[in-house]
Amino acid sequence: MTTYAFAPAPVVSVPVLGRPERFPVHRIYCVGRNYEDHAKEMGFTGREPPFFFLKPADAIVVAEAGQTATIPYPSLTSNLHHEIELVVAIGTGGRDIRAADAARHIYGYAVGLDMTRRDLQTDMKKQGRPWCIGKAYDKSAPIGPITLAAQAGDIHNAPIWLQVNGSDRQRSNVAKLIWNVAETIEHLSHAWELQPGDLIYTGTPEGVGAVVRGDTLNGGVEGLTPITVKVA
Ligand code: MN
């Protein structure tokens, strides 16, 4: 029997709507600048090949249906940004997956927030250094319950939105993704072998901005369970 020097970290998991079993998280992949108007607001134009960064699995904060999850205002930043995103949950792994075959690898979808220490990310970008400190910090990946793919409706033409304290901040449509879900899976699976349990944060539309302590974020993608997160 294997023994460990200390108790291994618990499996990070996300609830699945209407199912007793939870979705165990393997990795969190994120797509950068995947809506044109967000690319523009970040100072970029045009369709560039998709690019990816990762967050650690234990950056997940589950926002249960109908409840308010809490995230602490993180250290080192004075410019914490919200990015509302459609999240794809991978149920069947693979490498070199063709876009035409991507659907059968998808377990379900959820609403997620790619919380970002924007000042640190911007500083790292300027210096040509990795974004980790801006993107992959503790509790940087709130997520709602996963809806099974078959029950998610027309997710590829779904409105996506985020409100802060009841006011609109982000409002767009998943149809405006530069690289759609299938194309993203194709590109990602050339770079890494996808595994069951992988989550893909597919990118955020325009309207990103700062939140402060005490703010309540409410976001959704039509057809999925919305999430509510308070910054403490
Ligand atoms: Mn993002």
Report pLDDT digits (tens) over 48-69: 889 999 999 999 999 999 999 9
| Distance (Å) from CA 51 to ligand 1 centroid | 11
H helices within 26-109, ranges in order? Answer: 36-41
61: left (phi over 0), alpha (psi -120 to 50) or beta: beta
Q: How far apart are CA 70 and CA 46, in angstroms?
A: 36
| Distance (Å) from CA 178 to ligand 1 centroid | 13
Model pLDDT, residue 45: 78
For residues 164-172, give the mean pLDDT: 98
Q: Looking at 5-131, which runs of residues are DSSP E strands? A: 13-14, 23-24, 28-31, 52-55, 60-62, 68-71, 80-82, 84-90, 106-113, 116-117
| Distance (Å) from CA 30 to ligand 1 centroid | 6
| Distance (Å) from CA 4 to ligand 1 centroid | 36
The model's pLDDT over 78-107, given as tens digits with 9 standing for 90+, comes to 999 999 999 999 999 999 999 999 999 999
> Would the pLDDT of 46 be above 80?
no
Give me the percent of the chain exceeding a pLDDT of 90: 96
Query: pTM for this structure?
Result: 0.97
Cβ atoms 185, 194 nearer than 8 A: yes
The model's pLDDT over 99-134, given as tens digits with 9 standing for 90+, comes to 999 999 999 999 999 999 999 999 999 999 999 999
Cβ atoms 14, 146 nearer than 8 A: yes
Question: Please, what is the average pLDDT of the chain?
Answer: 97
> Would the pLDDT of 47 be above 80?
no
**Residue that is written with structure tokens 């509790």 in the block:** 139
Cβ atoms 56, 26 nearer than 8 A: no
Model pLDDT, residue 61: 98
Q: Which residues surround ligand 1, an ion (CB under 5 A)?
A: 83, 114, 204
208 pLDDT band (50/70/90 cuts)? very high
Give the number of other Cβ atoms within 10 Å of residue 34's Cβ. Answer: 25
